[in-house]
Chains A and B, each alone.
Chain A
Amino acid sequence: MSSEPGKLRSDRGQAFTLEGVLAALIVIAGLVFALQAVTVTPSTTGSTAAPVDSERFNTIFAESADSGALKRAVLAWDDGFQGVTTGEDYFVDAFPNNDFGNGLNDAVRPSVAVNVLVHYRTGPDTVKSQRMVYNGQPGDGAVRAESTVSVFDGDRLYDATGNPRPGTSVQADGLYPGLSDRSTGSDLYSVLKVEVIAWSA
């Protein structure tokens, strides 16, 4: 067989140990891989509950459209949204003090951050966004909802709490930077899109 039994024995022992360890590793790796493949479902991805149900935002949009609160919030503009105290032209860490802003405020917990953007077309291919409320870049798991509101030539501009400013009109005083009357032959000024984004801050 061999002339060195001692050497054989130690080799054999090492080989056995190696085999044993490798086998154990293979078994464990196979088990982990196999079990991991089973439990992939949406509800077990480990994601936390959404910060706000997007249905809530859709309801707020529907109510604000119905009552005109959305239009009043969008038209509360005078070179910046009315009621802003920070020096920018949008709200930071606060909501507008009108019906739309109050509705949003009631819908979210204090730990949820919200952005409100107004998107509008400035040309055939260009779209600009005006911030109404801005609290930073949205994090993971952000919930979005949007709705449109049309603005007409003769619409009055509003103040911070939703009262009309007499003597003003969208056509005469203009609205967001770059926004112009999209159809001079009719009463429509533009169709704006309001987007609300909420995430857990």
Chain B
Amino acid sequence: MMRDNRGVSSALSYALIIVLTVSLTAGLVLGASSLINDQREAVARDQIDAIGQRLSTTIMTADRLNATETRPKELTMTRDFPRRIGGVQYRIETAKVRSNRWRLTLETREVDIKQSFTIRLQSGVELEATTLNGGPIRIYYDRDPSDPALDKLRIEHA
């Protein structure tokens, strides 16, 4: 009597239920993983932007603090940046473009994002070209004991 009222056999209904469940779950996982990737990329891009802006502002502030007539005896700026962005490590690189202008580049390997920022220094001091991993950063003023023209601003891990 059951079989007559239901248009479908029990075995088929079992199979249908299982298949539907599994396919829905699989679809959810697969669809969500591409959604995750998009979200991760967007998040990482925003964060790299924010970190890059802050780091370049910090370097330019260190430069302004240096722009007194007398060389500072001590100048250290410490900033807490996260070690990972979206679970991914990133790298910070500084390179000189031309006189008084440097480029700061942040890039992540996994999510493949790269952003560059321009830093203009006005006090005439050199920024040392470095490459280092993201994380807490310290910028300090390295006084050369003999020649003021050789002073540098250095970046290192805090």
Contact = CB atoms under 8 A, between A and B. Distances in A.
Direct contact of A and B (CB under 8 A): yes
Interface string A30-57: 0100110011011110000000000000
Contacts of A27: 24, 28
Contacts of A34: 32
A5 B28 CA distance: 37
Q: Which of A27, A35, A41, A44 has the most CB of B within 10 A?
A: A41
Contacts of B39: 35, 38-39
A27 B32 CA distance: 12
A31 B47 contact: no
A39 B32 CA distance: 14
A42 B85 CA distance: 13
B22 to A, nearest CB: 13
A67 to B, nearest CB: 19
A95 B144 CA distance: 49
B29 to A, nearest CB: 11
A27 B50 CA distance: 34
Contacts of A31: 28, 32
Contact of A44 (B1, B2, B5, B46): B46
A5 B43 CA distance: 57
Interface string B20-44: 0000100010001001100110110
A44 B42 CA distance: 11
Interface residues of B, number: 16
B2 A38 contact: no
Q: Is the interface of A mostly helix, strand, loop or mixed?
A: helix
A42 B47 CA distance: 8
Given A39-B43, A41-B46, A5 B35 contact: no
A9 interface: yes
Contacts of A42: 46, 50
B28 A38 contact: no
Contacts of A35: 35, 39
A41 B47 contact: yes
Contacts of B35: 35
Interface of A: 5, 9, 27, 31, 34-35, 38-39, 41-44
Interface of B: 1-2, 5, 24, 28, 32, 35-36, 39-40, 42-43, 46-47, 49-50
8 contacts: A5-B2, A27-B24, A31-B32, A38-B40, A41-B46, A42-B46, A42-B50, A44-B46
